[in-house]
């Protein structure tokens, strides 16, 4: 099973895990998060993130999801990446997380692909992209 680590600003990671737990009906195993505050030194968080990756990797790899590429969470994640062992995706949202959780018994490359597609397909302009519109 692919482990999942969310690195984000504030409590976003925990909120995403909580929401995914609601959607899936239970809190998923092998999912952790690190939330950075304005007071945190990213270099001080890096050892914790490395330890969480180590704990989450049962041999199938770890997917690291971050909220914003180029910000502190993304910069920490960049230092964790190892091709075919630790993969990273920026722009985490709930559809991305649910899709990754749903497919994480697949190989890491498939989980990355499914996370990306879930993130993209979960962003919809409801006024123009949906076939039906609520009237009210």
pTM, rounded to two decimals: 0.93
Pull the structure tokens for residue 100: 């990754």
Task: Report the pLDDT value the prediction gives residue 129, as an integer from 0 to 100.
Answer: 79
Task: Report the pLDDT value the prediction gives residue 123, as an integer from 0 to 100.
Answer: 94
β-bridge pairing 31-36 and 3-9: parallel
Task: Report the pLDDT value the prediction gives residue 130, as an integer from 0 to 100.
Answer: 74
Task: Report the pLDDT value the prediction gives residue 9, as an integer from 0 to 100.
Answer: 97
Pull the structure tokens for residue 32: 């952790």
pLDDT tens track of the chain, all 136 residues? 999 999 999 999 999 999 999 999 999 999 999 999 999 999 999 999 999 999 999 999 999 999 999 999 999 999 999 999 999 999 999 999 999 999 999 999 999 999 999 999 999 999 887 766 555 5
Among residues 119, 131, 17, 136, which one has the least CA distance to residue 69?
A: 119
Task: Report the pLDDT value the prediction gives residue 108, as an integer from 0 to 100.
Answer: 98
Task: Report the pLDDT value the prediction gives residue 43, as an integer from 0 to 100.
Answer: 94
CATH of domain 3-129: 3.40.50.510
Pull the structure tokens for residue 121: 């397909």
Task: Report the pLDDT value the prediction gives residue 132, as an integer from 0 to 100.
Answer: 64
């Amino acid at each position: 099973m692919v482990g999942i680590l969310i690195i984000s600003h504030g409590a976003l990671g925990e909120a995403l895990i909580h929401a995914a737990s609601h959607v899936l009906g239970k809190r998923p195993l092998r999912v952790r998060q690190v939330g950075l505050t304005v007071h945190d030194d990213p270099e001080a968080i890096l050892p914790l993130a490395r330890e969480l990756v180590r704990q989450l990797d049962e041999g199938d790899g770890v997917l690291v999801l971050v909220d914003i590429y180029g910000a502190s969470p993304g910069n920490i994640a960049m230092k964790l990446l190892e091709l075919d062992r630790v993969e990273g995706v920026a722009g985490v949202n709930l559809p991305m997380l649910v899709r990754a959780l749903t497919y994480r018994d697949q190989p890491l490359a498939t989980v990355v692909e499914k996370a990306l597609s879930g993130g993209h397909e979960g962003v919809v302009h409801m006024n123009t992209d949906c076939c039906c519109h609520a009237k009210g």
